[in-house]
A and B are shown apart, each in its own frame.
Chain A
Amino acid sequence: MRRILPTLVTGALVLPALAACSTFGEEESASGGTEKLVLVAHESFSLPDELVEEFEAEHDVDLEVRQPGDAGAVVTEIALNPDDAGADVVFGVDNTFASRLLDVGALEPFEGELPPGADAYALAGEDRLVPVDSGNVCVNVDTAWFAERGIPEPESLDDLVDPTYADLFVTPGPVDSSPGLAFLLTTIAAYGEDGWRDYWRELVGNGAELVAGWSDAYYTSFTAGGEDGQRPIVLSYDSSPAFTTTEDGSATTTRALLDTCFTQVEYAGVLRGADNPEGAEELVSWLLSEDVQAALPDNMYVYPVRDDVELPTAWAEFAPRPDAPYAMEPAEIAANRETWIGEWREETQR
């Protein structure tokens, strides 16, 4: 017993100390009186607090954002319970996933107005998904690397299979990477149903490195991404060069190849089981408002769909947009996605 007593005493002293750092008894963020509005978004959703607070004050709601993972996780969560997804609005469904939500009937038509410029991104004859932002997946190059070696930078998809650029390209695969899937779709859009498998065979034959995710490709393998990368050509976004500026911000060290781009559009929509359908409409309209649209580049690395808001200086200067990016209808993507990924796996598994 003499041995046990000090143990118990110590325990009695230590436990309350531990309990003090527990999450017990923390107050909930929900404030009484105001109505709740729930937004489901992917993990990259992020807007300045001031904007969110403004919206909450103006509409007397308490905005709750849930982020269960990437766009795929968001879509899967909603599709598991399309009748009542437990939220009012979804944001961040892109054109590679959009059809799944439409097919399960999880969305209500949007009654509001589209701002100037948004029409260009809207789905034909579809008012349930509202375009909010867009981005392009493009091949990026490390300009300094090519300058140092006196090798001309590649410009096109064809260049990537040229022996000059052997063993220089790294890309995430389409299996679990949204830009990776976009790049697969790029090659299908560019070379057609008959040619894309040949292209990939040549690409792999030319020493292209295939990795699992974007951060893997960009941060580990790309020469301008991390410290020890060995490959100066990477698949990324048209906005990426705005984030590789020199420390004084006067120049950027990378460039997006504007002839290799595929447009990803992100949509928002009112969910069918919304508890607060009115607030949901207001929230979607707010995502299209000038303030939010102007905040998109800096906060989510995407372009606004409105054409009347100004882009940040670094973007205007370093991240020019492609004139004629590749694109594909969500329905076509939905119908073929799994088949294409399966075929891609066969083609690239050595």
Chain B
Amino acid sequence: MARGDAALTRALRLLALAALPLGVVGVFFVLPVGAMLVRGLAPDGQLDLGGLVEVLGRDRTGRVLWFTLWSAGLGTLVSLLLGLPVAYVLFRLAVPGARVLRALTLVPFVLPTVVVGAAFRALLGEGGLLAFLGWDGTPAAIVAALVFFNVSVVVRVVGGAWAGLDPRAEEAAAALGARPVTVLLTVTLPALRSALASAAAVVFLFCSTAFGVVLTLGGLRYATVETEIYLLTRAFDLPAAACLSLVQVATVVVLLALLGRLRGRAHGAVPVDRVPPRPRRPRRGDGPAIVVTGLVVLATALPIVGLAVASLRVRGAWTLANYRALDEPGITTALDVPVLTALRNSLQVAVDATWMALLLGLLVALVVTRRTRSRPERVVRGLLDGFFMLPLGVSAVVLGFGLLVTVARPPLALRDEPLLVPLVQALVALPLVVRTLVPVLASVDDRQRQAAASLGASPARALLVVDLPVVWRPLLAAAGFAFATSLGEFGATSFLSRPDHPTLPVVIGRLLGSPGTTGAQSNPGMAMAAAVVLAATVTVVVLTVERLRVPSVGAV
């Protein structure tokens, strides 16, 4: 009887924790996406599955699906291969400038895909620095751009977990005579398995739902499920769009099931240390990792330097005119507000999106990592865990239009709420936050919480003394993520952005969409300058956030 009560209390407590995130995701994600699916699958109020079968049977659907799977798979693999050494070097070694480099890895995240597309085409296209590769308009360019965007995810998610990994197990293995490679393969990577699985899942979802990059770089010849959904929606072929959305969701669900299995087996691995170990000096054996890191940093910097150069040139001459123009109202007819006003809007929105994503993400992470005592409880947690990943796996176009037809009009007329845009962006960032926190929280030994409880600590107190010290560092990493995601988010924002209150990516899109080299500045030059400002902003903010880390909580 008493045991039953305890189980009930526990279940209720979990439910209470999950209520807020569930409600938010339900109203701002499930409802809009569901509305679009209903419009597609039951156009006249009658469920019509014939269309579904027809779309699935199209040759084109097969081709698109195949291309999506292999390009995203390859993008994920390369991101992992390149991201791991970088995570190791930037989070475990005492290399000069590691802090700045860590902040810089977030830069690709904020750059609007149109801008990155332009930068990549400038590099790979006719007359570009890397034109000799012959990648322009090929899948290689798409995969390269996917890797450009996603290495940072691997670095952050895996690095966050790696930084807190207790080095004693590795040292013990080494002391027993294991070679560094053996230590890596038998001790370190298994301990990081949960983080690796998280990173891989997120990167795969990002790659398979990449939109702007595929459209710009693959151009007209390569289509992914995401671009196809966009084009079908544009052609108002809603049944086909809905059908492909379902395919997308099904893929996500399968992926999450796989992830759950991987993570399940990872339990009982090396626990994290409550006081993260100090980064150690590089040794000779770290050479290859450092070289790879250097190359990745260079490769990431190349398109960004290209942007900076483009922002400094008008009519073939060097000038700061594009930057001066950022603060001048009415400098170009393409804009209603100066670019710096849009930057301020973006920062405000990002602050809101960040705290919302952290709040929701922390709740979700706590719920899905509590030690499970019964099978049904485990199943429910697994489902919840997957549920909150869905925003990454669903097309921004479907979500955007869905929001327009649900929450933007009565009875939920929230369109003019200033908090709608940050809230939607927080949902986009939520899976990243959860995936950054979960591997670390999951590796907290539950016996510590039990010990705290047996010493008389309330659940809240146990959370404070057991979980918080461990989760503090990944929480900051997640804050950086959420902030960067919000600063760069374009897909759903473009639907909801208020014209008198545009965000910076929206303004950049507008500058790129209109001709003009009339005065001293040029519209594309201003767009590039704005992108450089965006990149600099996220670097500074992330550095500041990481500085705020209280010294007593973690070394360095």
Contacts and interface: CB of A to CB of B under 8 A. Distances in A.
Interface of A: 1-4, 6-7, 10, 14, 18-19, 21-24, 26, 28-30, 43-44, 46, 49, 65-69, 72-73, 76-77, 79-81, 84, 86, 100, 173, 175-176, 210-216, 218-221, 225-231, 236-237, 239-240, 243-245, 247, 249, 298-301, 337-338, 341, 345, 348-350
Interface stretch (B45-53, B114-122, B377-385): B114-122
Nearest to B522: A226
B494 interface: yes
B39 A227 contact: no
A28 B413 CA distance: 14
Interface in B488-531: 494-497, 499-500, 509-510, 512-520, 524
Contacts of B334: 46
B84 to A, nearest CB: 30
A228 B401 contact: no
Contacts of A249: 518
A318 to B, nearest CB: 11
B520 A247 contact: yes
Given A220-B122, A228-B128, A350-B221, A215 B419 contact: no
Contacts of B114: 215
B231 A176 contact: yes
Nearest to A41: B499
Contacts of B550: 3, 6-7, 10
B465 A73 contact: no
B352 A230 contact: no
B315 interface: yes
B116 to A, nearest CB: 12
A215 B523 CA distance: 11
Contact of B231 (A49, A81, A175, A245): A175
8 closest Cβ contacts across the A-B interface? A230-B126, A173-B220, A23-B418, A86-B409, A243-B515, A215-B512, A219-B524, A230-B127
Interface stretch (B159-167, B232-240, B252-260): B232-240
A24 B419 contact: yes
A219 B512 contact: yes
B405 A80 contact: yes
Given A46-B334, A348-B220, A6 B552 contact: yes
Contacts of A69: 494-495
B411 to A, nearest CB: 12
Contact of A226 (B500, B514, B524): B524
A21 B39 CA distance: 39
B511 to A, nearest CB: 9
A210 B495 contact: no
Given A175-B220, A176-B231, A214-B513, A73 B495 contact: yes
B310 interface: yes
Interface string B396-439: 00001100110011100001101100100000000000000000
B397 to A, nearest CB: 9
B64 to A, nearest CB: 12
B223 to A, nearest CB: 9
Contacts of B548: 10, 14
B310 A226 contact: yes
Contacts of B233: 76
A220 B121 contact: yes
A220 B125 contact: yes
A229 B313 CA distance: 14
B215 to A, nearest CB: 5
B190 interface: no
Nearest to A350: B221
A218 B523 CA distance: 12
A231 B495 CA distance: 34
B219 A212 contact: yes
B355 interface: yes
Nearest to B349: A23
A76 B127 contact: no
28 contacts: A2-B552, A3-B550, A10-B548, A23-B348, A46-B333, A76-B401, A77-B405, A80-B401, A81-B405, A210-B219, A210-B220, A211-B216, A212-B216, A213-B215, A214-B513, A215-B114, A221-B126, A226-B122, A226-B524, A227-B310, A227-B313, A228-B127, A236-B515, A239-B515, A244-B517, A299-B333, A338-B235, A348-B220
Contacts of B221: 348-350
B234 A22 contact: no
B472 interface: yes
Interface centre among B235, B519, B548, by most A CB within 10 Å?
Answer: B235
A3 B514 contact: no
A221 B313 contact: no
B468 interface: yes
B495 A68 contact: yes
Given A80-B404, A86-B409, A173 B219 contact: yes
Contacts of B316: 227
A192 B75 CA distance: 43
B347 interface: yes
Contacts of A29: 500
Contacts of A214: 513
Given A21-B348, A22-B351, A244-B517, A212 B127 contact: no
Nearest to B355: A18
B513 A44 contact: yes
A176 B509 CA distance: 15
B336 interface: yes
Given A77-B401, A81-B409, 16 more contacts: A6-B552, A43-B494, A44-B510, A46-B336, A69-B495, A80-B401, A86-B409, A176-B231, A210-B219, A210-B220, A211-B121, A214-B513, A225-B524, A230-B125, A237-B515, A349-B220
A341 B216 CA distance: 18
Contact of A23 (B230, B333, B422, B500): B422
B364 to A, nearest CB: 20
B142 to A, nearest CB: 12
A7 B553 CA distance: 8
Nearest to A300: B333
Interface string B334-356: 10100000000001110110010
Interface string B222-249: 0000000011011111000000000000
Given A67-B499, A100-B236, A212 B514 contact: no
A1 B465 contact: yes
B515 A216 contact: no
A28 B524 contact: no
Nearest to B419: A23
B464 interface: yes
Contacts of B416: 28, 30
B449 to A, nearest CB: 15
B553 A213 contact: no
Interface in B296-318: 310, 313, 315-316
Nearest to A220: B121
B469 interface: yes
Interface in B12-44: 39
Contacts of B126: 221, 230-231
Nearest to A4: B464
